[in-house]
Amino acid sequence: MITTPAPSHAAAARQWFLARADLDALIAGLRDSGRRVIGPTIREDAIVYDEIQSAADLPAGWHDEQSAGRYRLERRTDEQVFGYTVGPTSWKRFTFPPNLPIASAHRTGSFGFEQPTPDAPPVAFVGVRACEIAALEIQDRVFLGGQFTDEDFRARRASAFIVAVQCTTSSGTCFCTSMGTGPEVHGGYDILMTEIDGGFVVHAGSPEGAAIVAKLPTRRPSHAEAGAAVDRVESVRTQMGEPLPMAGIDERLKLQLDHPRWAVVADRCVECGNCTMACPTCFCTSVVEKSDMEGKRSTTDRQWDSCFDVAFAKVAGGDFRSRPRDRYRQWLTHKFSTWFDQFGSSGCVGCGRCITWCPVAIDVREELGVIAPPIAPVIRPVAVEPVAASPGSYSIARVAAVRPETEDTSTLTLTDVDPAFLAGRPGQFVMIALPAFPAVPISISRFRANGIDLTIRAVGPTSTALTNLHPGAKVGLRGPLGTFWPVEEAYGRHAVVVAGGVGLSPLHGLVDALVANHDRFESVSLFYGSRTPEDQLFRDDLDTWSASKAIDVAITVDRAGPEWKGRVGVVTGLFDMISWDCTKVTAFVVGPERMMQASVQGLISKGVPADRICVSMERHMECGIGLCGHCQMAGRFVCKDGPVFRLNELGDLFNREGI
């Protein structure tokens, strides 16, 4: 996410070995060059950054155990000097001090304002990590990248000599690999050190760095030493595990401004602002005005402030962020979303400080996962435990209404259903039975507050008997069964629903879900084709959807009389209306087999990725739960591995005949 320039000097590639016993030569060398040396040292039970006099001040043999809201120093089994991660201090304390006089004014005789000239004596930062360099570079963009600049920051930053250290361990709150900032240091340093057994592999990243290194008692590292240095850093990446799915996090968050979780996390947050104080990139400040009693001389100090402050967004007559949830949302969305708009990168480098130093242990990683969940890479298994899961057992439901859709198709509304059905997901189906009739699989076409709809076409005995039922009749149900439409997978994308004929039935619940959450998607559209206007299902719903701004609806029929004013032709003919970037489309397709194949072909040729096309397959089913063997499709049981599949899961099974 954050790209740091590669070291620009050819000399940087040359490596040296500095024995641990000779580390003091580096500190002395930096001090001799006229620099105040700031580095890690143990104070108040933590490793903080402070002025150090010699290598003896460094935290050799210590490391830090960190988790949300907790930090403890522990003894290492070895004498590594930099075998910890990052502590409560960040380097911004020295480049962007917490309190800074920025102006003074007087009206004694004359009247004027004075600005202090930046006073930034040379300093060396020792032990700067990859994420910390990224943070300094983010603040470079904040303070120096725009039209107006912070000259005090510029002076302090320019006077800072950077001795970077590769991480050889990570803590429980580190997530630099997720933010693309570490663990490897790639640039932005004067000297880079990697700690291995007995010493450091060192190299210079600038002429100033090379001048310091030249005076150190070094030798060339052995092949093994150079290799060990690489392995140490590599092992940290492994230690940290799978990176969090951060792709598109800025957009994902923007879609979630009304997520209920904001209020939940705000209930826990005590708004202490510790996160923003500890964060190495947060840059907000306020001014504090002091004067003598006559008001003739005054000074203006700039102080770190925090958007968690109740007064932060107040104006006379109102408060733009009056609720705690507004303030928590400001923090999280600024770090991970709106920062991109302002400064072209994330405002988070994954250092984990805000997690460790939050006294109520709020973890931004967890909040992001809930508020802006990643795009699910696979269709998840059944969400709810189905009821009556053995072939002979049924849960009883009552028919509340029967609504004719077409000449041969009716929708049954069932009530008194087991709550498991209400918790089902669009795309799932039930096995429905009447005494004396074999059970048949029917998709749930709609979820209601206290029931479900099944839309059934009378094609044979059971389906005919079902469509002939009257309100009050009882039916037996098993389910909900099978996989469902991965709605979340389309968050932030164009959701395209393609339905043919009665295929709209298993898609109806999906369309409801898309419409209800339409702001989570880039766009929502439905392409619906049927043989004739009379074969259309859910005509009232089609009218409602057509009138809604939440979804674009395009309808076509194969043939129609002169009274039909709409499009005529196959559903794929509607695809020329697709104007958007098809790599950002997630499509959901159901219809007769031939129509599905043509639609999928059309979508693929427009550039929709195969893993973003979901289809629902139909096969003969008897049991619906993977026991009877009827529904097998090569290695898969359509009833339990499907019926919803992503195209790439099916591969060439999709088009193949005779499977």
Partner 1 sequence: MATSGRTARPRVAVAKFASCDGCQLTLLDLEDELLEIVSRFDIVEFPEATSRRSPGPYDIVFVEGSVSAPEHIDQIKELRKQARILITIGACATAGGIQALRNWADHDAYRAAVYAHPEWIESLAKATPIAEHVKVDGELRGCPIDPGQLTELLTAVLVGRRPQIRDEAVCRECKRKGIVCLVVARGEACMGPVTTSGCNALCPSYDRGCYGCFGPRANANAKSWSTGLLRSGRPPEEVRRLFAGFTGYAEPFRSVITELGETKG
Ligand X SMILES: Cc1cc2nc3c(=O)[nH]c(=O)nc-3n(C[C@H](O)[C@H](O)[C@H](O)COP(=O)(O)OP(=O)(O)OC[C@H]3O[C@@H](n4cnc5c(N)ncnc54)[C@H](O)[C@@H]3O)c2cc1C
Residue 105 CB partners (closer than 8 Å, separation 6+): 112, 113, 114, 297, 298, 299, 300
Q: Residue 331 binds which entry of ligand SF4, partner 1, ligand X, none, with Cβ cut-offs from 5 to 8 Å by kind?
A: ligand SF4
A 10 A CB-CB count for 578 gives 20
Distance in Å from the first CA to the final CA of the chain: 45
Instruction: Kindly state whether residue 440 participates in binding ligand X, applying the rule CB under 6 A.
Output: yes
- Contact partner at residue 440 from partner 1, ligand X, ligand SF4, none, CB < 5 to 8 Å by partner kind: ligand X
- Contact partner at residue 438 from partner 1, ligand X, ligand SF4, none, CB < 5 to 8 Å by partner kind: ligand X
Residues 481-520 interacting with ligand X (rule: CB under 6 A): 502, 505-506
Q: What angle do CA 503, 505, 508 make, to 5 degrees?
A: 115
Of the candidate residues 216, 351, 621, 625, the single one contacting ligand X (CB under 6 A): 621
Q: Which is nearer to ligand X, 61 or 438 (CB)?
A: 438
Under the criterion CB under 6 A, does residue 442 sit at the interface with ligand X? yes
Interaction between residue 453 and ligand X (CB under 6 A): no
Residue 456 is a binding residue for ligand X (CB under 6 A): yes
Q: Which does 462 bind (CB under 5 to 8 A by kind): ligand X, partner 1, ligand SF4, none?
A: ligand X
- Report how far residue 240's alpha carbon sits from residue 325's, in angstroms, rounded to the nearest whole number: 31
- Which residues, numbered 580-619, are part of the site for ligand X (CB under 6 A)? 618-619
Binding residues (CB under 6 A) for ligand SF4: these are 269-276, 278-284, 306-308, 330-331, 334-335, 348-354, 358-360, 362, 364
Print the binding letters for residues 278-317 with partner 1: x by CB under 8 A, - otherwise. x---------xxxxxxxx-------xx-x--xxx------
Q: Which of 197, 45, 33 is nearest to 126 (CA)?
A: 33
Q: Is the dihedral of CA 250, 255, 258, 264 positive or negative?
A: negative
For residue 288, the minimal CB distance to partner 1 (Å) is 5
Q: What is the DSSP string of 55-75?
A: GGGS-TTEEEEEETTEEEEEE
Q: How far is the CB of 249 from ligand SF4 (least distance, A)?
A: 12
Residue with tokens 């600024």: 334
160-165 vs 123-128, strand pairing mode: parallel
Q: Identify what 181 binds: ligand X, partner 1, ligand SF4, none; CB under 5 to 8 Å per kind.
A: none
Choose among ligand SF4, ligand X, partner 1, none what residue 281 binds, the Cβ cut-off being 5 to 8 Å by kind: ligand SF4
Q: Tokens in use for 649?
A: 């899961």
Residue in 140, 208, 271, 541 binding partner 1, rule: CB under 8 A: 271
Structure tokens at 227: 């290799």
Q: Give a three-class secondary structure readout of 378-442.
A: CCCCCCCCCECCCCCCCEEEEEEEEEECCCCEEEEEEECCCHHHHCCCCCCEEEEECCCCCCEEE
Is the bond preceding residue 643 a cis peptide, omega within 30 degrees? Answer: yes
Pairing relationship of beta strands 644-646 and 613-616 according to DSSP bridges: antiparallel
Report whether 427 contacts 482 (CB < 8 A): yes
The residue range among 67-75, 501-509, 521-529, 581-589 that interacts with partner 1, by the rule CB under 8 A, is 67-75
Least distance in Å: CB of 483 to ligand X? 10
Q: Which residues have a Cβ under 8 Å from the Cβ of 635 and sit 6 or more positions away?
A: none
E strand residue ranges, 236-333: 285-291, 297-304, 314-315, 318-319
Q: Which one among 166, 173, 462, 586 touches ligand X, defined by CB under 6 A?
A: 462
Site track 324-343 with partner 1 (rule: CB under 8 A), x = hit:
x-------------------
Structure token pair of residue 612: 């973003």
Is the distance from CB of 614 to CB of 486 less than 8 angstroms?
A: yes
Least separation in angstroms between CB 270 and partner 1: 4
In angstroms, give the least distance from the CB of 461 to ligand X: 5
428 binds, among ligand X, partner 1, ligand SF4, none (CB under 5 to 8 A by kind): none
List contacts with partner 1 (CB under 8 A).
43-46, 48, 69-73, 88-89, 93, 98-99, 267-274, 277-278, 288-295, 303-304, 306, 309-311, 324, 356-357, 359-361
List contacts with ligand X (CB under 6 A).
429, 438, 440-443, 455-457, 459-463, 502, 505-506, 618-622, 643
